[in-house]
Amino acid sequence: MPQSAEKILDHAPLFREPEYRQMLAEKKLNFECPHPDQIVTDQGEFTKTWEYREKNLAREALVINPAKACQPLGAVFAAAGFERTMSFVHGSQGCVAYYRSHLSRHFKEPASAVSSSMTEDAAVFGGLKNLVDGLANTYQLYDPKMIAVSTTCMAEVIGDDLHSFIENAKDENSVPRDFDVPFAHTPAFVGSHVDGYDGMLKGILEHFWKGQERTEAKRTINVIPGFDGFCVGNNRELKRLLDVMGVSYTFIQDASDQFDTPSDGEYRMYDGGTKIEEVKGALNAEATVSLQYYNTRKTLDYCGQVGQATASFHYPLGVQATDEFLMKISALSGKEIPEAIRLERGRLIDAMADSQSWLHGKKYAIYGDPDFVYAMARFVMETGGEPTHCLATNGTSAWEAELKELLASSPFGKDAQVWAGKDLWAMRSLLFTEPVDLLIGSSYGKYLERDTGTPLVRLTFPIFDRHHHHRFALMGYQGGLRVLTTILDKIFAKLDRETSQTGVTDHSYDLTR
Amino acid sequence: MSLEYENDGALHAKLIEEVLSQYPDKAAKRRKKHLSIAKSGVEAGGESEILSECDVKSNIKSIPGVMTIRGCAYAGSKGVVWGPVKDMVHISHGPVGCGQYSWSQRRNYYVGTTGIDTFGTMQFTSDFQEKDIVFGGDKKLEQIIDEIEVLFPLNNGITVQSECPIGLIGDDTEAVSRKKAKEYKKTIVPVRCEGFRGVSQSLGHHIANDAIRDWVFDKKDVEFEAGAYDVNVIGDYNIGGDAWASRILLEEIGLRVVGNWSGDATLAEIERAPKAKLNLIHCYRSMNYICRHMEEKYGVAWMEYNFFGPSQIETSLRKIAKHFGPEIEEKTEKVIAKYRPLVDAVISKYRPRLEGNTVMLYVGGLRPRHVITAYEDLGMVIVGTGYEFGHNDDYQRTGHYVKNGTLIYDDVTGYELEKFIEGVRPNLVGSGIKEKYPVQKMGIPFRQMHSWDYSGPYHGYDGFAIFARDVDLAINNPVWDLYQAPWKERPPRGRAIAAE
């Protein structure tokens, strides 16, 4: 009997005990009807070949282990960045349980959203009644300042019209006539979570800006971050930079406090976020700057339509991307980049110079949302690394072209390949056939790490199996230090592991590296 | 080891009244039926003693806009019943999200070579695009099945887990499945678990059970030499290895577990199930349907059991043994005796640290009652419990477990749960990931009771030790005493106890 009160073994050690190993071996042999071991081994080896890779990449219909989620997740995240805003997702209720769980598992924080709980009868008759009753209940129970409505694919397939439904709900006094209920149609069968973010954000801006007179406030800027699992660290760092520069700005969609509430005995369903008055005032800004172009294409178009200048970046991370971001902000705001920031830049460069020998020539596979992949590829090249595989399941052909242009601009990008629309099962073949030193992505990459032996650096949403990484910034020069350190730690840990066998690798297990 | 106590029914009644007062009238009227206080019931004596009555309405539609914690039929089928069958490929058929959010989240452990002969921690999706909605997805589904056969030839079957749009656009997944099953001579199971069906996960369980009946049973000649002590374990999803910690006991008392549904299961284990002598059902809610069917059609008896905590384990082992007669009964007594010192050691270590601590539960379809005695074995008191998707028969069964005055809440809303927890201030809350962080912010210890909070197993004697350790580490961690900044005065909550 392996278990004892003195030393309690949970699943990880328990099932490695001989009693359980034997039990499982017998279960397999007697009851599972398994394929013969040799056949399993052969098939396993076959999946590592170029031949398998070709079949794998030729897939047209089946998607396996995609690195993307659906639109409403992005909408719920977007709504979380506004003051006392409750997400209301119109359609089936199970979806909302999923978004809330997904966000909670990443942030280790509460994630609130409600559903209109449509069932079979609503599929037949439409969900108007659900929305009318639902808004009334949400308004009364959860005391929001704003309810942001998005849709699940069920409501989209049956064609519910949010605009008229919300008008109806107001006619029936579900919420006061002047209560803010912005909305966005977010069909799960179009685009991905980054488009849901875009749609919801545009919906909110349109709700407050449409028909309003715009009086341009010169030199003021709106900053939109995009869907970002590292919003807690990133938004605070960006606001710090903007404050240090003395820029007059509105940070539109700031979920950094919502997903980082303190533990002091009080549960805050709402915390922080862009104030509604600020959103209204943001119409007058001279310019709107998006930190993630592929998250905000429609929103930027809309900002342009109302007369604002627009600029966009791809997740400004690393040296040159941060340089460009700051210079753009400086140009738009008329504020100089202060010496303090130049010194921060110098410290990042200093760190990169100190560590360059460990990074030069390292090969990487990078996956995630389009802007993030672009940013990481760029930073990797700045360190002398080679971004061998750049993959975004939700990457478009425009993204592919833009990234290829970036890669062509550096000798470190000459062997790089861009994989738009591919998934992580495709990545598995890529890693077997054209191996790299490091894999950069989300927690889902752990299966690739296990199968291919490529160390995984977790630097993008979702991160379920490591804690608190999202509390630290990746953007800006400070963020660059964090990314640099994280990558280096992985390299050193691997080297130590590979040289730690006493009597075999006493050499190379160096104290100073 | 039944613990004697009564809960503060008057306080609970007041809390119910308070939360209902906050709803619009229409919603208050509907929610009222889901909330109650357990009342002393008929004293029938013996095993069937009913401690109390939990009279609430259940398994009806959630109210829009109130933040129900429930999921959907797809979650019940793909997430619970079918997903763990490890040697089959489960296609999340429809848009990408459902499969993505449920990917690898239920911790149904298995062993196998993932991606080669097992597929449990993978996300197969048809990733529906607009054109699939407009023109239908049947052709795409055919192509997907072809591609699966090319890339994963060692799969032993495929299931098609329908997401919301499939039923709405009128796709015929049954026809595609039939055609492709014939072509590849494989089991292909279409499951009509669109998320809008039913009112919760529960109908998904039922639909998934029916799919086993209609698309698996009697479809192949099953070569298997049946034995006198063959049992199936039904409704154990091997979360954190639960089914393994149960299997080891059942084998020890002399039974042969010929199938485990569906944690760590293979299709073969499902196909041969009707040949067993007895179905042992743990999660009654999600798999009673197929047990009733096997009883009717194949004459396989079924029996509910409970492997949470030593009191229930002993009772259950004896009940199971009785079914098989003296030889098994004798072995069973030896097994109980063998584990007795472990149980005693665990209880004497942890009971003094946990005695009298109060617990509120809110879980799925089984655990709101099944885990109660495990807490009581540690001297803890259950003050409130409720089901996400229980039915009337679950609440009837709950009467056997809860004490007079216990707060009962069905399909609780985020608002109600928060207010109940605030009002009761239990020492521990056991619920899900969505509830974990709000509760912890209040300074109240919490354990996830769906995923075992990344621990487990909790079934069996091995599991009970882990359960006791986890409850202790949750309640007696020093962090709860650090919530108040020292310059803000507030009486201390009590001292943490160092880990042992």
CA distances from B396 to B54, B362, B375 (A): 7, 17, 20
Give me the pLDDT at residue B490, please. 65
Q: Which amino acid is at B419?
A: K
CA distance A240 to chain B (A): 26
Stretch 256-315 of chain B: residues touching chain A, C-beta under 8 Å: 257-259, 264, 266, 268-269
Query: What are phi and psi for residue B37, nearest 5 degrees?
Result: -115, 130
Q: Tell me, yes or no, if A189 comes closer than 8 A to chain B by beta carbon.
A: yes
What residues pair up with B385 in beta bridges, in sequence order?
B408
| Domains of chain A and any CATH numbers | 71-209 (3.40.50.1980), 221-260+269-339 (3.40.50.1980), 356-499 (3.40.50.1980)
Give me the pLDDT at residue B49, please. 62
What residues pair up with A309 in beta bridges, in sequence order?
A287
Q: Tell me, yes or no, if A485 comes closer than 8 A to chain B by beta carbon.
A: no
Domain B230-342 class, CATH top level: alpha beta
Q: What is the CA radius of gyration of chain B?
A: 23
- Considering only CA atoms, which of A148, A146, A149, A208 is closest in space to residue A180? A146
Q: Tell me, yes or no, if A319 comes closer than 8 A to chain B by beta carbon.
A: no
| Contacts with B338 from chain A: Cβ below 8 Å | 1
Model confidence at B309: pLDDT above 80: yes
> What average pLDDT is seen over chain A?
98
Instruction: Give the mean pLDDT of A398-415.
Output: 98
d(Cα B431, Cα A350) in Å, to the nearest integer?
A: 49
Stretch 212-251 of chain B: residues touching chain A, C-beta under 8 Å: 240-241, 244-245, 247-248, 251
| Contacts with A111 from chain B: Cβ below 8 Å | 434
Q: Tell me, yes or no, if B116 comes closer than 8 A to chain A by beta carbon.
A: yes
Model confidence at B162: pLDDT above 70: yes
Q: Tell me, yes or no, if A305 comes closer than 8 A to chain B by beta carbon.
A: no
Percent of chain B scoring above 90 in pLDDT: 93
Give me the pLDDT at residue B2, please. 65
- Considering only CA atoms, which of B88, B64, B245, B25 is closest in space to residue A1? B245
Beta-carbon contacts of A501 under 8 Å, excluding residues fewer than 6 positions away, are none
Give me the pLDDT at residue B41, please. 65
Inter-chain touch A27–B342, beta carbons under 8 Å: no
Q: Which residue of A has its CA nearest to B142?
A: A61
Inter-chain touch B342–A2, beta carbons under 8 Å: no
Model confidence at B136: pLDDT above 60: yes
DSSP B449: S
Inter-chain touch A117–B62, beta carbons under 8 Å: yes
Inter-chain touch B438–A267, beta carbons under 8 Å: yes
Q: Tell me, yes or no, if B126 comes closer than 8 A to chain A by beta carbon.
A: yes
Helix (H, G, I), strand (E, B) or coil at A245: helix
**Sheet holding B230-236: strands in order across?**
B256-262, B230-236, B278-281, B301-304
Model confidence at B178: pLDDT above 60: yes
Model confidence at A351: pLDDT above 50: yes
User: Using 50, 70 and 90 to split pLDDT, how confident is the model at B493?
Assistant: low
d(Cα A215, Cα B35) in Å, to the nearest integer?
A: 54
Task: Note the pTM of the prediction, 2 decimals.
Answer: 0.97
Q: Tell me, yes or no, if A186 comes closer than 8 A to chain B by beta carbon.
A: no
Chosen for mutation from B98, B100, B244, B347 (greatest number of chain A CBs closer than 10 Å) is B100
d(Cα A9, Cα B264) in Å, to the nearest integer?
A: 20
Tokens for A488? 């280096």
Q: Which amino acid is at B207?
A: I
Instruction: Give the mean pLDDT of B153-159.
Output: 98
Chosen for mutation from B25, B89, B101, B271 (greatest number of chain A CBs closer than 10 Å) is B101
Q: Which residue of A has its CA nearest to B140?
A: A61
Beta-carbon contacts of A331 under 8 Å, excluding residues fewer than 6 positions away, are none
CA distance A397 to chain B (A): 16
Helix (H, G, I), strand (E, B) or coil at A223: strand
Interface confidence (ipTM) of the complex: 0.98
User: What is the secondary structure of A30-55 as a DSSP string?
Assistant: HHS-PPPHHHHHHHHHHTTSHHHHHH
Q: Which residues of A are catalytic?
A: 153, 157
> What average pLDDT is seen over chain B?
95
Give me the pLDDT at residue B494, please. 56
Question: Do A271 and A257 meet the contact criterion of CB atoms below 8 Å apart?
Answer: yes
Inter-chain touch A3–B462, beta carbons under 8 Å: yes
Give me the pLDDT at residue A182, please. 98
Q: Tell me, yes or no, if B433 comes closer than 8 A to chain A by beta carbon.
A: yes
Chosen for mutation from A46, A51, A95 (greatest number of chain B CBs closer than 10 Å) is A95
Q: Tell me, yes or no, if B133 comes closer than 8 A to chain A by beta carbon.
A: yes
Q: Which residues of B are catalytic?
A: 72, 75, 106, 205
| Contacts with B72 from chain A: Cβ below 8 Å | 92-95, 97
What residues pair up with A391 in beta bridges, in sequence order?
A367, A419
Q: Indicate the fold that domain B73-216 takes in CATH.
A: Rossmann fold (3.40.50)
Give me the pLDDT at residue B50, please. 73
Instruction: Give the angle subtended at the CA of A54 by the CAs of A53 and A56, to the nearest 5°.
Output: 60
At A85-115, the pLDDT tens digits run: 999 999 999 999 999 999 999 999 999 999 9
Give me the pLDDT at residue A214, please. 98
Q: Tell me, yes or no, if A452 comes closer than 8 A to chain B by beta carbon.
A: no
d(Cα B395, Cα B41) in Å, to the nearest integer?
A: 13
In chain B, which residues fall in CATH 3.40.50.1980?
A: 9-62+354-454, 73-216, 230-342
At B39-71, the pLDDT tens digits run: 986 543 444 567 788 889 999 999 999 999 999
Instruction: Among A20, A105, A189, select the one facing B129 at the smallest CB separation.
Output: A189
Sort A39 into a burial class: Cβ within 10 Å, 0-12 / 13-18 / 19+: middle
Model confidence at A410: pLDDT above 70: yes
Tokens for A463? 């991160």
Instruction: Give the mean pLDDT of A80-84.
Output: 98
| Contacts with B147 from chain A: Cβ below 8 Å | 59-62
Give me the pLDDT at residue B45, please. 40
Which has more confidence, B490 or B329? B329
| CB neighbours of residue A492 within 10 Å | 14
Q: Tell me, yes or no, if A433 comes closer than 8 A to chain B by beta carbon.
A: no
- Considering only CA atoms, which of B403, B369, B401, B404 is closest in space to residue B386? B369
Tokens 């009564």 belong to B6
Tokens for B186? 């494989």
- E-strand ranges in A17-174 read 63-64, 85-90, 114-115, 146-151
d(Cα A389, Cα A418) in Å, to the nearest integer?
A: 6
Instruction: Among B91, B116, B132, select the one facing A47 at the smallest CB separation.
Output: B116
Stretch 379-418 of chain B: residues touching chain A, C-beta under 8 Å: 413-415, 418
Q: Which residue of B has its CA nearest to A157?
A: B165
Q: Which strand (E) or helix (H) includes residue A194?
A: helix A193-209
User: What architecture is domain B9-62+354-454?
Assistant: 3-Layer(aba) Sandwich (3.40)
Instruction: Give the angle subtended at the CA of B308 by the CAs of B306 and B310, to the nearest 5°.
Output: 100
Instruction: Give the mean pLDDT of A129-144.
Output: 98
Instruction: Among A31, A88, A152, select the one facing B259 at the smallest CB separation.
Output: A31
Give me the pLDDT at residue B40, please. 80
Query: What are phi and psi for residue B466, nearest 5 degrees?
Result: -70, -40
Question: Do A193 and A227 meet the contact criterion of CB atoms below 8 Å apart?
Answer: yes
Q: Which strand (E) or helix (H) includes residue A365?
A: strand A363-367
Inter-chain touch B196–A92, beta carbons under 8 Å: yes
| CB neighbours of residue B417 within 10 Å | 24
| Contacts with B345 from chain A: Cβ below 8 Å | 4-6
CA B111 to chain centre: 21
Model confidence at B499: pLDDT above 90: no
What residues pair up with B188 in beta bridges, in sequence order?
B158
Measured between its terminal Cα atoms, the distance across chain B in Å is: 24
Tokens for A217? 């406030």
How many beta-carbon pairs below 8 A join chains A and B? 345
Instruction: Among A31, A109, A428, select the one facing B437 at the smallest CB separation.
Output: A109
Inter-chain touch A34–B115, beta carbons under 8 Å: no
| CB neighbours of residue A491 within 10 Å | 18
- Considering only CA atoms, which of A164, A169, A149 is closest in space to residue A91? A149
Model confidence at B492: pLDDT above 60: no
* Helices A476-498 and A319-333: angle between axes, nearest 10 degrees: 170
Question: Do B173 and B160 meet the contact criterion of CB atoms below 8 Å apart?
Answer: yes
Helix (H, G, I), strand (E, B) or coil at A351: helix
At B13-40, the pLDDT tens digits run: 999 999 999 999 999 999 999 999 999 8
Inter-chain touch A154–B195, beta carbons under 8 Å: yes
- Considering only CA atoms, which of A74, A370, A395 is closest in space to residue A204? A74
Tokens 């698996």 belong to B216
Give me the pLDDT at residue B491, please. 58
Give me the pLDDT at residue A91, please. 98
d(Cα B447, Cα A243) in Å, to the nearest integer?
A: 41
Instruction: Among B27, B65, B150, select the one facing A55 at the smallest CB separation.
Output: B150
Inter-chain touch B64–A134, beta carbons under 8 Å: yes
| Contacts with B127 from chain A: Cβ below 8 Å | 63, 66
Model confidence at B236: pLDDT above 50: yes
DSSP B219: S
Model confidence at B496: pLDDT above 70: no
Percent of chain B scoring above 70 in pLDDT: 96
d(Cα A472, Cα B32) in Å, to the nearest integer?
A: 45
CA distance B49 to chain A (A): 32
Q: Tell me, yes or no, if A70 comes closer than 8 A to chain B by beta carbon.
A: yes
Instruction: Among B24, B115, B436, select the one facing A137 at the smallest CB separation.
Output: B24
